[in-house]
């Protein structure tokens, strides 16, 4: 096409000849968008530091092995966790304000089962380190620490006085909540990693702490809390009075304690509920006696609900006064309580009214809490009250000695124990390498992806998947698992409900809505990058990011 008049050499019309790319519009900008990884509230809440938002994203795409490996970065027991964790993460789920919290627990359970069903193993990739760590106590805290230290390349030996590893996961949690084959599967994976198990050895009796100290470079103490709380009432020596942990242990060993027809459980925690539900399965009529009322109960609400469905009678505002009977228990005298002023825990203190009444029963199970057996500890460890003094990473007063699980000041759940084991493993690694180790290696970000950081337009309303629960009248006939696993479709659907708060899922909104061609696929991998040569800093990308994975940074 001819656009110029040759004679005068002036264009007939102006034609652009250069690209506007020479015009670096980035110089207009006074604020820059940046991609950030914010902590989702669930991640922040998780006592085991799991990257929930991350594995939900993978599970939603059906990438279950990747999701499993992501959980295993923190927690070696996904299938156990998917059953027994009290999922406090779900109470902080941002989706709860939109429709209903995501059933995180259900998805974790599916992923955990997937790992077991497909026999996925953990490969050791780090070089062996010529240092050895002793783990005393094969409960969730000890096994988690052992797992992480083994991954780092340390030689690990686990000691426990029981015949089999698992601690309270094996000897405390009833099989209708955690089948033994699931536990065996996940612990078996740990033995395959080359962790030595030295079972049936009680440190302090069969083997001295000094010997452990001299033979190993570091020691992690997680022996649990097995000292029964003292209840100074008459009749504690009668036949048929039993302690909760002892009772659950016998049941878990298959040696069913013959309970009487009528059982009274004293206490309001999760162990009390476990004992009550187990007794129902043994055919007893069960009354659970708690000195406060329902709202103050420390037991998890879902457990309480299940117990009620299974026919456990709850008797609130009553405390034990005397256990009576000839040789064996024939009843318990209870005193009525009323609630007074708030105590340290923020709950109203029960006060005896003096009015008593009797309850017939043949068995009394005491589930009023356990504390640490101080004499089982190395004598050099300083205790505060009934707990070993330790910092957030389990470091005790004695160099080379670390503590975790139920013996330190932390809520007594499997999940918290796993978290303490993981943090202690990081601290032990730091100690053995002569480094201070605090935040590195753990999922800790300063910023939180709260509800306001999300753009909810991009999420439709989808109802929460209900768990498959065996009806109460069927489930009290056996110790079979009460809740069954979700199907693959359900797990994918439920994971797809997750907002993945604070994480980029490559949804592309930033790219789609950029008027200035300044959001590009990251050429080096995941996600997007901002082309600051041309970005004018309008901030549309940040505003339209559904997940709060971007923010504006204003220039100084």
- Name the minimum Å distance from CB 70 to other proteins: 18
Q: Give the alpha-carbon dihedral of 126, 128, 134, 140, to 10 degrees.
A: 20
- Name the minimum Å distance from CB 64 to other proteins: 18
Q: Residue 29 or residue 475: which is nearer to other proteins going by CB?
A: 29
User: Counting contacts by CB under 8 A, is residue 357 touching other proteins?
Assistant: no
- Name the minimum Å distance from CB 544 to other proteins: 5
Q: Residue 180 or residue 536: which is nearer to other proteins going by CB?
A: 536
User: Counting contacts by CB under 8 A, is residue 555 touching other proteins?
Assistant: no
The stretch among 259-267, 320-328, 370-378, 509-517 that binds other proteins (CB under 8 A) is: 509-517
User: Counting contacts by CB under 8 A, is residue 256 touching other proteins?
Assistant: no
Q: Is 459 in contact with 98 (CB distance < 8 Å)?
A: yes
Chosen residue from 144, 362, 453, 518 binding other proteins by CB under 8 A? 518
Three-class SS of residue 90? helix
- Name the minimum Å distance from CB 490 to other proteins: 17
Give the interface size with other proteins as a residue count (CB under 8 A): 46
Tokens matching residue 492:
């994918």
**Which contiguous run of DSSP H or E holds residue 423?**
helix 414-432
User: Counting contacts by CB under 8 A, is residue 496 touching other proteins?
Assistant: yes
User: Counting contacts by CB under 8 A, is residue 452 touching other proteins?
Assistant: no
CB within 8 A of 322, min separation 6: which ones?
233, 234, 235, 332, 333
Chosen residue from 238, 507, 527, 532 binding other proteins by CB under 8 A? 507
Q: Residue 20 or residue 344: which is nearer to other proteins going by CB?
A: 20
User: Counting contacts by CB under 8 A, is residue 18 touching other proteins?
Assistant: yes
Rounded CA-CA distance 248/256 in Å is: 9
User: Counting contacts by CB under 8 A, is residue 512 touching other proteins?
Assistant: yes
Q: Is 128 in contact with 503 (CB distance < 8 Å)?
A: no
User: Counting contacts by CB under 8 A, is residue 546 touching other proteins?
Assistant: yes
Q: Residue 19 or residue 214: which is nearer to other proteins going by CB?
A: 19
329 HSE (CA, 13 A, CB side): 28
Q: Is 100 in contact with 121 (CB distance < 8 Å)?
A: no
- Name the minimum Å distance from CB 87 to other proteins: 23
Q: What are φ and ψ of residue 178, in 5° steps? A: -145, 100
| Residue 195 CA: distances (Å) to CA of 81, 181, 405 | 21, 20, 19
Strand duo 331-342 + 318-324: pairing: antiparallel
The stretch among 2-10, 242-250, 301-309, 507-515 that binds other proteins (CB under 8 A) is: 507-515
User: Counting contacts by CB under 8 A, is residue 443 touching other proteins?
Assistant: no
Rounded CA-CA distance 219/309 in Å is: 45
Rounded CA-CA distance 365/459 in Å is: 49
Nearest C-alpha neighbor of 136 from the set 157, 166, 165, 159: 159
User: Counting contacts by CB under 8 A, is residue 517 touching other proteins?
Assistant: yes
Chosen residue from 132, 389, 536, 551 binding other proteins by CB under 8 A? 536
User: Counting contacts by CB under 8 A, is residue 492 touching other proteins?
Assistant: no
User: Counting contacts by CB under 8 A, is residue 553 touching other proteins?
Assistant: no
The stretch among 10-18, 44-52, 277-285, 340-348 that binds other proteins (CB under 8 A) is: 10-18
Strand duo 550-554 + 155-160: pairing: unpaired
Chosen residue from 9, 20, 326, 345 binding other proteins by CB under 8 A? 20
Nearest C-alpha neighbor of 464 from the set 115, 105, 113, 177: 105
User: Counting contacts by CB under 8 A, is residue 531 touching other proteins?
Assistant: yes
- Name the minimum Å distance from CB 104 to other proteins: 17
- Name the minimum Å distance from CB 27 to other proteins: 11
Chosen residue from 187, 537, 548, 549 binding other proteins by CB under 8 A? 537
Q: Residue 170 or residue 547: which is nearer to other proteins going by CB?
A: 547
- Name the minimum Å distance from CB 91 to other proteins: 23
Strand duo 31-35 + 550-554: pairing: antiparallel
Tokens matching residue 481:
């698992």
User: Counting contacts by CB under 8 A, is residue 545 touching other proteins?
Assistant: no
User: Counting contacts by CB under 8 A, is residue 514 touching other proteins?
Assistant: yes
Q: What are φ and ψ of residue 303, in 5° steps? A: -65, -40
Q: Which residues of 227-259 are buried (b: 16+ CB within 10 A; e: fewer)?
A: bbeeeeeebeebebbbbbbebbbebbeeeebeb
Nearest C-alpha neighbor of 35 from the set 445, 459, 465, 493: 445
Chosen residue from 346, 385, 515, 525 binding other proteins by CB under 8 A? 515
Rounded CA-CA distance 385/275 in Å is: 27
Instruction: Tell me the three-class secondary structure of 270-312, residue by residue.
Output: HHHHHHHHHHHHCCCEEEEEECCCHHHCCCCHHHHHHHHHCCC
- Name the minimum Å distance from CB 144 to other proteins: 33
Which residues from 29-48 bind other proteins, rule CB under 8 A?
Answer: 29
Q: Residue 99 or residue 313: which is nearer to other proteins going by CB?
A: 99
Q: What are φ and ψ of residue 476, in 5° steps? A: -75, -5
- Name the minimum Å distance from CB 534 to other proteins: 4
The stretch among 154-162, 176-184, 318-326, 456-464 that binds other proteins (CB under 8 A) is: 456-464
User: Counting contacts by CB under 8 A, is residue 275 touching other proteins?
Assistant: no
User: Counting contacts by CB under 8 A, is residue 458 touching other proteins?
Assistant: yes
Q: Is 46 in contact with 414 (CB distance < 8 Å)?
A: no
How many residues in the chain?
A: 556
User: Counting contacts by CB under 8 A, is residue 469 touching other proteins?
Assistant: no
DSSP secondary structure letter of residue 506 = -
User: Counting contacts by CB under 8 A, is residue 506 touching other proteins?
Assistant: yes
| Residues near other proteins, by CB under 8 A | 14-25, 28-29, 457-460, 462, 496, 505-509, 511-518, 531, 533-534, 536-540, 542-544, 546, 552
């Amino acid at each position: 096409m001819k656009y110029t008049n040759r004679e005068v050499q002036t264009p007939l019309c102006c034609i652009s000849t250069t690209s506007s790319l020479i015009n670096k519009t980035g110089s207009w900008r006074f604020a820059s968008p940046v991609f950030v990884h914010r902590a989702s509230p669930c991640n922040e809440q998780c006592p085991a530091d799991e990257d929930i938002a991350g594995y939900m994203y993978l599970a939603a795409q059906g990438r279950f092995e990747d999701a499993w490996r992501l959980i295993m970065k923190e927690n070696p027991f996904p299938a156990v966790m998917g059953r027994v964790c009290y999922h406090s993460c779900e109470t902080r789920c941002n989706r709860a304000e939109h429709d209903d919290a995501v059933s995180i627990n259900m998805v974790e359970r599916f992923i955990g089962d997937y790992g077991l069903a497909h026999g996925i193993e953990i490969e050791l990739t780090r070089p062996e380190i010529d240092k050895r760590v002793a783990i005393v106590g094969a409960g969730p805290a000890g096994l988690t620490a052992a797992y992480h230290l083994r991954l780092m390349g340390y030689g690990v030996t686990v000691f426990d006085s029981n015949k089999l590893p698992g601690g309270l996961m094996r000897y405390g949690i009833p099989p209708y909540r955690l089948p033994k084959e699931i536990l065996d599967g996940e612990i078996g994976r740990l033995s395959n990693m080359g962790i030595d198990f030295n079972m049936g050895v009680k440190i302090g009796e069969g083997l001295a702490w000094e010997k452990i100290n001299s033979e190993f470079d570091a020691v992690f103490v997680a022996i649990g809390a097995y000292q029964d709380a003292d209840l100074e009432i008459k009749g504690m020596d009668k036949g048929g009075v039993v302690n909760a942990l002892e009772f659950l242990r016998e049941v878990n060993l298959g040696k069913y304690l013959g309970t009487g027809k009528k059982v009274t459980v004293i206490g309001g925690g999760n162990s009390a509920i476990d004992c009550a539900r187990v007794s129902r399965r043994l055919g007893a009529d069960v009354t659970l006696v708690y000195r406060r009322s329902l709202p103050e109960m420390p037991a998890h609400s879902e457990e309480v609900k299940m117990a009620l469905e299974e026919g456990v009678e709850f008797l609130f505002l009553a405390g034990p006064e005397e256990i009576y009977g000839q040789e064996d228990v024939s009843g318990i005298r209870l005193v009525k309580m009323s609630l007074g002023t708030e105590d340290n825990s923020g709950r109203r203190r029960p006060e005896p009214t003096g009015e008593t009444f009797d309850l017939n029963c043949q068995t009394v199970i005491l589930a009023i809490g356990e504390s640490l057996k101080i004499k089982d500890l190395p004598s050099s460890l300083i205790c505060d009250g009934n707990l070993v003094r330790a910092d957030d990473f389990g470091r005790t007063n004695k160099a080379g000695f670390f503590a975790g699980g139920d013996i330190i000041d932390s809520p007594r759940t499997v999940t918290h124990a796993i978290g303490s084991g993981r943090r202690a493993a990081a601290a032990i690694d730091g100690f053995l390498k002569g480094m201070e180790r605090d935040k590195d290696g753990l999922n800790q970000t300063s910023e939180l992806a709260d509800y306001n950081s999300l753009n909810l337009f991009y999420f439709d309303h989808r109802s929460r998947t209900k768990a498959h629960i065996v009806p109460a009248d069927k489930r009290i006939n056996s110790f079979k698992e009460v809740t069954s696993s979700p199907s693959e479709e359900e797990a994918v659907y439920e994971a797809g409900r997750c907002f993945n708060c604070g994480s980029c899922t490559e949804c592309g909104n930033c790219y789609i809505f950029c008027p200035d061609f300044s959001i590009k696929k990251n050429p080096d991998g995941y996600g997007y990058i901002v082309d600051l040569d041309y970005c004018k800093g309008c901030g549309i990308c940040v505003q339209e990011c559904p997940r709060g994975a971007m923010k504006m940074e204003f220039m100084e």
